[in-house]
Amino acid sequence: MVRAGGTLLGPMKNLTRRRFGKTLAGAAAAVAAGASLPRIALAQLAKAGLLRFPDNFVWGCSTAAYQVEGAVNEDGRKPSVWDTFSHTPGKTFQGETGDVADDSYHLYKEDVKLLKNLGVGGYRFSISWSRVFPDGTGQPNEKGLAYYQRVVDELLKNNIAPYITLFHWDLPQALPGGWQSRDTSKAFADYAAYIAKHLSDRVGHFFTINEFTCFTDLGYKTGRFAPGLKLPDGEVNQIRHNAVLAHGLAVEAIRANGKSGTQVGLAENATVYVPVIEDQKQIEAARRATREENAPFLTALMEGKYTDGYLQREGANAPKVEAGDMKIIGNPLDFVGLNVYTPEYVRADSSAAGYIVEKRQTSYPRMASDWLYIGPEVIYWAVRNVSDIWRPKALYITENGCSADDVVTANGRIEDTDRVMYLRNHLTHLHRAASESYPIKGYFLWSLMDNYEWADGYSKRFGLHYVDFKTQTRTPKLSAEWYREVVSRNAVE
């Protein structure tokens, strides 16, 4: 309330959203009646709605090499499995490939300017393994390394910290057997060692691998992604094992070859289980589901073992584990990165597992991608479940964002209000996790700009910047304006 003389009555810090609405309505009525409203009142009302994040919280954006770089045949780079897959008829939307993508190989300085204009403090990007080691192993390609050195230097010049992902699905085609071979795990460790040795003087955070299931199960079981195989369960489980072994070997290689203090973790799209009702019984069911349903990947890394349930379910198809493997796989991490998009809902039941995963109704809302179901609370439970089960030192949201049917208006604007809705709601729930003292250190939005969306080609747009793929023009969307405000305030409204 406002009294004569323009001072405020009542503690503004106790202003709830409902009371805020009533106060604002009263203020509007007062203005309509001809009364003047002191500026301090409006300022304090505006601040009351802000949800602030911790000091030193890192705001950033993410991309991946094959999705943005292009220049697939330049400066010594050789094909990855995604080059081969995307050039195979019928594998991608309209046969589209990443040959040019966003041409970030040539336009990286322009892309750093986009980051600078957003005000972000971090940029998570991946290195093309076959650009640095064209054959996957053996002789490194100095021109490939030099490109990433230029990118890192340009970021640092603009006060943006580089966060490097070593593997985002683009396996060198030349590696015999791909992830079916244990030798690929060893080759990955050698590649990780080389990168850490040459870049850790300027890069403080390395992510070993991005999203295990997307290159193991989707690549070797369903065939939806590169290399497009459909193998039996036993072979797929061994591929999964080779992948998590590669992660563990890379952790050791980075620590052995990187500058002292280098931080290492991973970026994983662990399936997130949300309790249907927030009571202790359902919360425990969500924890059980999180641990068991992520058994081949995140659980194995965090515990250094496969769960009894996973081994029992797979039986004769369980992976063959050599002596010392699980200790390597379970190497302690400095942080865990979580790629968070969509929830699964669980409830407690009387089965041996103690939970059941609910089926979605056909009316459940989603974004432009058919898999991207909307459930903003997923980001809170991603952080909480992982923290409550495994107590990591630090957590980052390494991807979060959405596809939208973006349209350029007659005046050249992209009014992606649906993306703003998605992001605002997710960040509101992420703030809850931060306010409850979970160790969330940063948020990397997917993605900086529209790019090559794997098997969906260029048909799905996830970026804050609209890309005209014919001219390579980048145009900020409404969501870019909104995110810039979030970053500048270190708060979401």
In 3D space, the residue among 306, 304, 305, 307 whose CA is nearest the CA of residue 331 turns out to be: 304
Task: Return the H-helix or E-strand segment holding 303.
Answer: helix 300-303
In 3D space, the residue among 71, 62, 141, 147 whose CA is nearest the CA of residue 103 turns out to be: 71
Distance of CA 257 to the CA centre of its chain: 26
Q: Is 291 helix (H, G, I), strand (E, B) or coil?
A: helix
Helix pair 478-489, 417-435: axis angle to 10 deg: 20
Q: What's the burial of 247, exposed, middle or buried (CB within 10 Å: 0-12/13-18/19+)?
A: buried
Task: Return the H-helix or E-strand segment holding 61.
Answer: strand 58-62
Residue 412: CA atoms inside 13 Å, Cβ hemisphere, count? Answer: 4
CA–CA dist 451, 143 (Å, integer) = 24
Residue 317 per-residue DSSP state: G
Task: Return the H-helix or E-strand segment holding 247.
Answer: helix 233-257
- Angle of CA points 462, 466, 467, to nearest 5°: 105
- Selecting among 154, 211, 292, 377, the annotated active-site residue is 211
Please confirm, yes or no, whether 211 is among the known catalytic residues.
yes
User: What are the residues whose beta carbons fall under 8 Å from the beta carbon of 323, sequence distance 6 or more?
Assistant: none
Helix pair 378-390, 417-435: axis angle to 10 deg: 30
Instruction: List the helix and strand counts (H, then E) for the chain.
Output: 18, 15
Please confirm, yes or no, whether 69 is among the known catalytic residues.
no
DSSP string, 73-137: TSTT---BHHHHHHTSTTSSGGG--SSSTT-HHHHHHHHHHHHHHHT-SEEEEE--HHHHSTTSS
Specify the amino acid at residue 427. L
- Angle of CA points 422, 427, 429, to nearest 5°: 100
Other C-beta atoms within 10 Å of 318: how many? Answer: 17
- Selecting among 154, 292, 293, 399, the annotated active-site residue is 399
CA–CA dist 164, 199 (Å, integer) = 10
Tokens of 123: 């940029």
Q: Is the peptide bond before 447 cis (omega within 30 degrees of 0)?
A: yes
Other C-beta atoms within 10 Å of 350: how many? Answer: 7
> Would you please indicate which residues are annotated as catalytic (active-site) residues?
211, 399
